[in-house]
């Protein structure tokens, strides 16, 4: 029986069409050009390479360029969220109706995650935010991040459901015995890589109750 749900944050609790991740992505490239000294011509290639080899841009920058991870995170998340996100009554109602305990598992920092939850009007539903600091910059899909989170949960891994819009983030959760849900919401081929690790596929966050029946 599922007693606990781990939700990814970005592009999961709100749709890609909100545009927020587009601005975050643009700010990552800006930082890499202006602060790290990567040429504008190279930046997309470097990001694709880091994403493939390290899981995230941040982890690649941290390992290969020894950047100040906190300064990078502060810069890319310094965004006026109310331009992109609004209280979501439907999400609120869905979360209220789910009896499971709920937490966030994100590669972003907790203070930003809290701001996102507040902007969506759903902060009160989440017991914990397992953020990039909790997992010591070992971002999803690095398996050690999942072991740390699983060890902190009050339930067994097989009582936990994990939901993420980036399908390759699900395999390490499944390896620990969790059930996995891929939110196939953004038609991005990169997000679909690894979708064979999904026990369930949903098209919007509002479909979560359908996999719990």
Of the candidate residues 7, 10, 112, 208, the single one contacting Mg ion (CB under 5 A): 10
- Contact characters 166-205, Mg ion, x per CB under 5 A: ----------------------------------------
Cis peptide bond upstream of 141, omega within 30: yes
Q: How far apart are CA 92 and CA 107, in angstroms?
A: 23
Of the candidate residues 5, 6, 7, 8, the single one contacting Mg ion (CB under 5 A): 8
**Gap between the terminal Cα atoms of the chain:** 10
Of the candidate residues 11, 88, 131, 138, the single one contacting Mg ion (CB under 5 A): 11
Cα distances from 211 to residues 45, 59, 88, in angstroms, run: 37, 32, 21
Q: Should residue 131 be labelled a site residue for Mg ion when binding is judged by CB under 5 A? A: no
Q: How far apart are CA 172 and CA 1, in angstroms?
A: 20
Of the candidate spans 3-11, 62-70, 81-89, 113-121, the one that interacts with Mg ion by CB under 5 A turns out to be 3-11
Q: Residue 184 CB, nearest distance to Mg ion (Å)?
A: 12
Q: Should residue 165 be labelled a site residue for Mg ion when binding is judged by CB under 5 A? A: yes
Say how many residues touch Mg ion, by CB under 5 A.
5
Of the candidate spans 35-43, 78-86, 160-168, 189-197, the one that interacts with Mg ion by CB under 5 A turns out to be 160-168
Of the candidate spans 25-33, 126-134, 144-152, 165-173, the one that interacts with Mg ion by CB under 5 A turns out to be 165-173
For residue 128, what are the β-bridge partners? Answer: 103
Using DSSP, state whether 201 is helix, strand or coil: strand
Q: Residue 172 CB, nearest distance to Mg ion (Å)?
A: 15
Of the candidate spans 46-54, 58-66, 128-136, 159-167, the one that interacts with Mg ion by CB under 5 A turns out to be 159-167
How many Cβ atoms sit within 10 Å of the Cβ of residue 185? 19
For residue 200, what are the β-bridge partners? Answer: 181
Tell me which residue of 149, 150, 103 sits closest to 122, measured CA to CA.
Answer: 103
Q: Should residue 138 be labelled a site residue for Mg ion when binding is judged by CB under 5 A? A: no
Q: What angle do CA 185, 186, 188 make, to 5 degrees?
A: 130
Q: Which residues bind Mg ion (CB under 5 A)?
A: 8, 10-12, 165
């Amino acid at each position: 029986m599922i007693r606990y749900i781990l939700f990814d944050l970005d592009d999961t609790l709100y749709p890609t069409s909100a545009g927020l991740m587009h601005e975050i992505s643009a700010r990552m490239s800006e930082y890499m050009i202006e602060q790290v000294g990567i040429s504008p011509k190279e930046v997309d290639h470097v990001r694709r390479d880091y994403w493939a080899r390290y899981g995230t841009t941040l982890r690649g920058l941290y390992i290969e360029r020894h950047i100040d991870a906190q300064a990078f995170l502060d810069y890319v998340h310094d965004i006026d969220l109310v331009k992109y996100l609004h209280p979501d009554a439907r999400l609120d109602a869905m979360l209220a109706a789910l009896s499971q305990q709920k937490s966030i598992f994100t590669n972003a920092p907790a203070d930003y995650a809290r701001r996102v939850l507040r902007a969506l009007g759903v902060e009160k539903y989440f017991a914990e935010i397992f953020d990039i600091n909790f997992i010591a910059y070992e971002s999803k899909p690095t398996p050690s991040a999942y072991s740390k989170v699983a060890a902190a949960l009050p339930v067994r891994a097989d009582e936990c459901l994990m939901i993420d819009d980036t399908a390759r983030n699900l395999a390490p959760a499944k390896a620990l015995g969790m059930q996995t849900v891929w939110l196939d919401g953004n038609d991005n081929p990169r997000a679909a890589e690894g979708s064979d690790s999904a026990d369930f596929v949903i098209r919007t966050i509002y479909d979560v109750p359908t996999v719990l029946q």
